[in-house]
């Protein structure tokens, strides 16, 4: 994949939307095949997959991400209709049904040729952005194999940009924190505010973003979230900037009472990942005399399994063992303003306009910048 050409057409209206997500199993029999799809080529031992599978089996083998995505799609369709946007919304996944390859083939059969793609990740980085471009490229390759004449009547898929600094994202996150704080027992002792996001290998974070150091900046400066786009570690810098923006919008905790940590690491233990882990951090806070904690899963737009298991089970159990008062804030996908955010992004690009230089925005599986978010080599099993 290469960076999109500056000559990419930007004047023709779009005729459909693809809601592109991660996917998840819908029953016990689907759990292991799903996990094998997720980890293909990564050298993850079978015993590790079986341990993760137990998290899904705890909830009947059903990932909550499926229903949450369908709810968001239904709300988005209603919002687009309210705005007078006659754009059908299709649903495709990377790792489970409906697979994006099948969805793109159906969109093509339905006559759509210019499609906006909304990814369920707000961030830069390989997993947060570039892998969605790869999903798009893979789906188009599959279309070319399945529909021979598609080369003569091509489909354009334009991925919408990263949206972590959108005001609606920050405002929804801030209100979720306020609700969580209000759910704690009344006390004169302030709660510690802890933001979490999915950990990644440190090498992957170092490679996230454009490799060149430039003066270009990304983010909504009204929220104080503008950060340099180049130079690597874009993902961790975005998460930190978004955490600061949400904490600032809440207005209560002092900066010294706000932490940003990580969760859900996997892979070989000898590979360093972003730290500290949320559970380790809770123990450190307790040792420092902190007894009240609000945790905001800012890195996740919905309460899928890694939020529900890692925060509502594992972290909550650690907090209980430590005698801490612990409340987990909602993810932003439950807030109607998040649907407004998606619709606003679609509005910006639907008529052929929009900023094609925005980070994460590119066509047909190209990357938004040369050598952007290059994937690190994955360790293989011996």
Instruction: Note the pLDDT tens digit of each residue in 197-255.
Output: 999 999 999 999 987 544 355 554 434 445 666 668 999 999 999 999 999 999 876 66
Peptide bond into 260 cis (omega under 30): no
Peptide bond into 335 cis (omega under 30): no
Residue 381 confidence (pLDDT) above 50:
no
Rounded mean pLDDT, 99-115? 98
Chain centroid offset of residue 10 CA: 26
- Closest Cα to residue 122, out of 176, 80, 75, 170? 170
Beta bridge partner(s), residue 277: 262
Rounded mean pLDDT, 368-374? 90
d(CA 148, CA 154): 11
3-state helix, strand, coil split of the chain in percent (to 5) is: 45, 15, 40
- Coil vs helix vs strand at 296: strand
**Is residue 177 within 8 Å of residue 298, measured between CB atoms?**
no
d(CA 77, CA 203): 39
Rounded mean pLDDT, 52-70? 95
d(CA 36, CA 25): 11
Q: What is the mean pLDDT of the chain?
A: 91
- Coil vs helix vs strand at 92: strand
Rounded mean pLDDT, 109-130? 97
Beta bridge partner(s), residue 197: 262
- Considering the chain, what percentage of its residues have pLDDT values greater than 90? 81
pTM: 0.92
Least confident of 138-152, 320-334, 367-381: 367-381
d(CA 382, CA 376): 18
d(CA 77, CA 64): 20
Residue 305 confidence (pLDDT) above 70:
yes
**Position 147 confidence tier, pLDDT thresholds 50, 70, 90:** very high
Residue 303 confidence (pLDDT) above 60:
yes
Tell how strand 227-228 and strand 217-218 pair up: antiparallel
């Amino acid at each position: 994949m290469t960076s999109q050409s500056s000559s990419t057409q930007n004047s023709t209206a779009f005729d459909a939307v693809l809601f592109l997500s991660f996917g998840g199993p819908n029953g016990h029999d689907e759990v292991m095949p799903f996990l094998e799809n997720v980890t293909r080529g990564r050298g993850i031992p079978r015993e590790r997959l079986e341990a993760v599978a137990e998290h899904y089996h705890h909830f009947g083998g059903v990932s909550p991400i499926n229903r949450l995505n369908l709810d968001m799609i239904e709300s988005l369709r209603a919002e687009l209709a309210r705005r007078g946007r006659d754009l059908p919304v299709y649903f495709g996944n990377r790792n489970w049904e409906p697979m994006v390859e099948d969805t793109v083939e159906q969109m093509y059969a339905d006559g759509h040729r210019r499609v906006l793609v909304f990814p369920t990740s707000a961030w830069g980085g390989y997993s947060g952005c570039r892998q969605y471009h790869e999903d798009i490229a893979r789906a188009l390759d599959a279309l070319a194999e399945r529909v021979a004449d598609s080369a003569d009547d091509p489909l354009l898929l334009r991925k919408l940009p990263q949206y972590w600094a959108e005001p609606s994202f920050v405002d929804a996150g801030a209100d979720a924190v306020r609700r969580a704080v209000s759910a704690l027992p009344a006390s004169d002792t302030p709660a510690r505010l802890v933001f979490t996001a999915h950990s990644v290998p440190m090498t992957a974070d170092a490679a996230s973003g454009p490799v060149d150091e430039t003066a270009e900046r990304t983010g909504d400066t009204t929220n104080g979230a503008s950060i340099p786009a180049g130079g690597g570690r874009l993902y961790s810098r975005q998460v930190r900037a978004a955490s600061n923006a949400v904490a600032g919008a809440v207005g209560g905790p002092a900066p010294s009472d706000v932490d940003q940590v990580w969760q859900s690491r996997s892979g070989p233990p000898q590979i360093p990942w972003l730290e500290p882990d949320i559970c380790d951090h809770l123990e450190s806070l307790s040792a420092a005399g902190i007894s009240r904690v609000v945790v905001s899963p800012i890195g996740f737009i919905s309460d899928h399994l890694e939020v529900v298991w890692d925060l509502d089970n594992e972290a909550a159990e650690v907090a209980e063992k430590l005698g801490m008062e612990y409340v987990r804030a909602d993810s932003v996908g439950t807030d109607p303003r998040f649907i407004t955010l998606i619709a606003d992004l679609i509005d910006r690009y639907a008529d052929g306009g929009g900023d094609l230089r925005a980070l994460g925005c590119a066509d047909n599986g190209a990357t938004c910048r040369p050598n952007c978010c290059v994937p690190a080599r994955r360790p293989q099993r011996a």
